[in-house]
Structure 1
Amino acid sequence: MRKTEQINDVSNLNLGEILSEHQPVIFKNINSDSLLLGNNNSAGENLINKLSDEIGSKVVSVMSGFYEDGGLLSYSNPNVDTRTRNTLIGPCTFDKFARQVLKMSRDERPGYLYSQLLDIGNSMPELLPMVQPLDAKLNVKGEAIWNLWLGSGKHRVNTHYDKVENFYFVLHGKKVFNIFEPKLLPELYSGPYEGGPSGIPESVVDSNNPDHKTFPRYSEALENSQVAEVCAGDMLYLPANWWHNVSSERLNVSANLWWSDIGKVERFRAELAFLQLLYSVKTLPKHWRDYWMTNIDHYVFCKNGNPLEHLPKEKQGIAGEIEIEVLTGIKQKIRDLEQEIFRLELDIDLSDDRLKLNCSHLLNIKIESIDYIEISIGTHQVFTEEYNVLKILRAFSGGRRPLEVYEGKIAQLYKIDQFSEKLVKFIRHGVLVMSHE
């Protein structure tokens, strides 16, 4: 474990150069002239009281934990249930929460109150003047969110990561970050990729009391980690996707700026590609997984340099440099493959992007997504969230006649139970299904 790099002279910051290295760094006393800062008790109480006066009785989400967990904010028991936390969470007016935080911060007994991710811009615009001087110094481009974090101390957030860039500024108290670079993922024993009860991926190892017998590789993660002590007036730059756990020993108030260095479209497209790999490649035989790993390393991550430098630029195709023409070709290839997959999985022609269903002259079925089915008989509509399609079709068709279904321009007859299976597949795939008389 080593200490995070510090920059003591912040008078002439070159943020662009620092951010390009994508490494954690502490900016010391970046806003030391703020009247809100201070580490003594009176300064903390003054800050809490000021926040209470500004925010008043607005309702915030507050969490507290059980004494036996020693202030840990994490899974209740990841080996049993990855959906529940070992914290109690509920709404509270900010002024009442602030009063109680001050009382608990003076109490030597275990126990804490903590509120996190209070959106300053949308929920608490009264606090914007507090962060505007620092906001001006950072001058972050694009969509960014300022959040407020406030607690009585004696609490710690377990190891997790965020998919956004983070400037974390301490107004009062001290935060201690233990930071792990993304490549240490195998040594951190992550919970489900889709996240635990808070919606983010999180390690199942108790960061303060790791069980090295159960999680032997965690020792290697600790050896290669770094520690960042961020005091009042300091700001930590924490790059996106770096794992970290955070401890707060006493009364603490922080504000952080979250933003992304890539657009939402790029972020969601990459996430979609990863999920498709999990869905389509992970389950293949080993020789096929090896084949795709080689192709991804070669064409996507360019581990051997430009994979097509031996070809003229105009002949490199969709695996060449991404330009408008190439991007158009990739998107068309994706659409063609998706269409073919649907055709094979659903065994139905989707060339006209619709399904025409005639059960009777009054019945219409519309399935827009996995969450929405609309059934209508004449002008009377029935909405359902239950996908017992077979029961619905039998009820509306009388269970006697076969169904006449138009696939493209060709009509076919289906038994009701046979066609209900097709509809269930459409629901699961979120394919638009329109029916007409």
Structure 2
Amino acid sequence: MTAPIREIVLDCDHSGAPKRFAGLVAAAEPVVLRGLVRDWPVVRAADNGPAALVTFLKAFHGGGVASCVAGHPSINGRFFYTRDMTGLNFGRRDATVADLLDQLVRQANDTHPLAIAMQSAPVREVLPGFAERHAMPLLDPSIAARIWIGNAISVATHYDSNDNVACVVAGRRRFTLFPPDQAGNLYLGPFELTPAGTPVSMVDVDAPDRDLYPRYAEAEKYARTAELGPGDAIFIPYLWWHAVRSLDPVSILVNYWWSDHALPTAPVQAMLHALLAFRDLPPARRAAWRALLDHLVFADDAGQATHLPEHARGIMGPISPEMRRDLHRVIAAVLQSK
């Protein structure tokens, strides 16, 4: 039995809303922001049906093409692996927003439609002028919007290496979230072959195979779910696992990714390097390195070097931009020598 995601309503006409939202981000807990973008013109257009929505979006003419994914009706909208795990169960092609919307409307009443989606397309490239009319009230304007358009499809459980605010524009979407510490119970797929860049869970949250994935029952204890409609938004914290299912024939979402870290993807590369460096060591050596890493990298007290004078703490203390550049050069030199 999953628990509901916490819900709040932010008064974005009040100057305190961004500050309150910053506190939610700092807490690193997911939250549904009901009605956050209810006043967006595109949401009001969607209220009048698919035809009005398509007309509204086509007014932002001149947009470029973006990569789209398409799968046979037999996949039931689930973009995933082939049965033998040698490939993916969908193909790719380029399309404009207008072309994709026309196809969605044409097959909206089909019993077994082709699964199609434009995923994570830069709004400024595919819908010029859209971002200026649809401001995100909680974030800095420099944070770029991305758009997701499709029909009743599902995206496998995955994580993002950034904080994320996702705003539902048209159709309903169901979100299922798991905290980062449940990775071991989600049965991760290959890192080398992924549907969209990051590893995904092999478990179908809508129909889990409990015999094949018995530890998933533990992950379910910590799962949180919410269904969002047009105008609603959700904050998904950094590295929280999330599965997303679109529930309607025409479904649109606009999202914003951002990070306060100078190199938001660097931890992924560090983890891959750690796999090479530590995983195949004998158990005793691996345990020794785990203790050192826990002390130097993952300890919460930040007191690893207080016994040293400040001038002698080096990388055990605060890492300056100059130290960061030096460390980059050292690591690059080591990797290049392998």
Taking structure 1 as the reference length, what is the TM-score of the superposition?
0.68
Q: CA deviation at 1:197?
A: 4.2
Contact 2:161 2:265 in 1 (8 A): no
Taking structure 2 as the reference length, what is the TM-score of the superposition?
0.87
Q: CA deviation at 1:301?
A: 1.4
Q: In the alignment, is residue 68 of structure 1 matched against residue 74 of structure 2? A: yes
Q: In the alignment, is residue 338 of structure 1 matched against residue 337 of structure 2? A: no
Q: Distance in 2 between matches of 1:38 and 1:122?
A: 23
Q: In the alignment, is residue 157 of structure 1 matched against residue 155 of structure 2? A: yes
Which of 19, 27, 34 is the equivalent residue of 1:28? 34
Q: Distance in 1 between matches of 2:199 and 2:73?
A: 25
- Residue in structure 2 matched with residue 318 of structure 1 by the alignment: 315
Paired letter, 2:54: I
Q: Distance in 2 between matches of 1:184 and 1:85?
A: 25
Q: In the alignment, is residue 144 of structure 1 matched against residue 140 of structure 2? A: no
Residues 1:9 and 1:333: Cα distance change in structure 2 (over 3 Å): closer
Residues 1:35 and 1:140: Cα distance change in structure 2 (over 3 Å): closer
Q: CA deviation at 1:186?
A: 0.3
Q: Distance in 2 between matches of 1:22 and 1:32?
A: 24
Q: In the alignment, is residue 209 of structure 1 matched against residue 207 of structure 2? A: yes
Residues 1:138 and 1:8: Cα distance change in structure 2 (over 3 Å): closer
Q: Which has the higher strand share?
A: 1
- Residue in structure 2 matched with residue 7 of structure 1 by the alignment: 8
Q: CA deviation at 1:131?
A: 2.1
The 5 A counterparts of 1:243-392 are 243-250=241-248, 251-264=250-263, 267-302=264-299, 306-323=303-320, 338=334, 342=337
After superposing on structure 2, the runs of 4+ consecutive aligned residues of structure 1 that deviate more than 4 Å are 38-41, 323-335
- Residue in structure 2 matched with residue 103 of structure 1 by the alignment: 106
- Residue in structure 2 matched with residue 119 of structure 1 by the alignment: 122
Greater radius of gyration (CA): 1
SS at match of 2:196: coil
Residues 1:130 and 1:220: Cα distance change in structure 2 (over 3 Å): farther
Percent identical pairs in the alignment equals 26
Q: CA deviation at 1:36?
A: 2.5
Q: CA deviation at 1:129?
A: 2.8
Q: In the alignment, is residue 17 of structure 1 matched against residue 23 of structure 2? A: yes
Q: CA deviation at 1:228?
A: 2.0
Q: CA deviation at 1:334?
A: 5.2
SS at match of 1:36: helix
SS at match of 2:197: coil
SS at match of 2:175: strand
- Residue in structure 2 matched with residue 54 of structure 1 by the alignment: 60
Q: Distance in 1 between matches of 2:214 and 2:50?
A: 41
Q: Distance in 1 between matches of 2:32 and 2:168?
A: 11
Residues 1:296 and 1:269: Cα distance change in structure 2 (over 3 Å): same
Structure 1 alignment gaps of length 5 or more: 343-428, 430-437
Contact 2:46 2:53 in 1 (8 A): no
Residues 1:144 and 1:112: Cα distance change in structure 2 (over 3 Å): same
Q: Distance in 2 between matches of 1:318 and 1:259?
A: 26
Mean CA deviation greater in 308-317 or 182-191: 308-317
Q: Distance in 2 between matches of 1:125 and 1:19?
A: 29
- Residue in structure 2 matched with residue 404 of structure 1 by the alignment: none
Paired letter, 2:260: D
Contact 1:65 1:73 in 2 (8 A): yes
Q: CA deviation at 1:231?
A: 1.1
Contact 1:67 1:110 in 2 (8 A): yes
Q: Distance in 2 between matches of 1:117 and 1:9?
A: 26
Q: CA deviation at 1:57?
A: 7.6
- Residue in structure 2 matched with residue 94 of structure 1 by the alignment: 97
RMSD: 2.8
Residues 1:74 and 1:172: Cα distance change in structure 2 (over 3 Å): same
Paired letter, 2:167: F
- Residue in structure 2 matched with residue 228 of structure 1 by the alignment: 226
Residues 1:52 and 1:314: Cα distance change in structure 2 (over 3 Å): same
Q: Per chain length, whose mean CA-contact separation is higher, i.e. which structure has more relative contact order (CA < 8 Å, sep 6+)?
A: 2
Paired letter, 1:281: F
Q: Distance in 2 between matches of 1:59 and 1:332?
A: 38
- Residue in structure 1 matched with residue 180 of structure 2 by the alignment: 182
- Residue in structure 1 matched with residue 85 of structure 2 by the alignment: 80
Paired letter, 1:167: V
CA-to-aligned-CA distance 1:303-337 (integer Å, 9 cap, x gap): 565123333333434323434686687568758x8
- Residue in structure 2 matched with residue 408 of structure 1 by the alignment: none
Contact 1:104 1:112 in 2 (8 A): no
Paired letter, 1:80: M
Paired letter, 1:2: A
Paired letter, 1:150: I
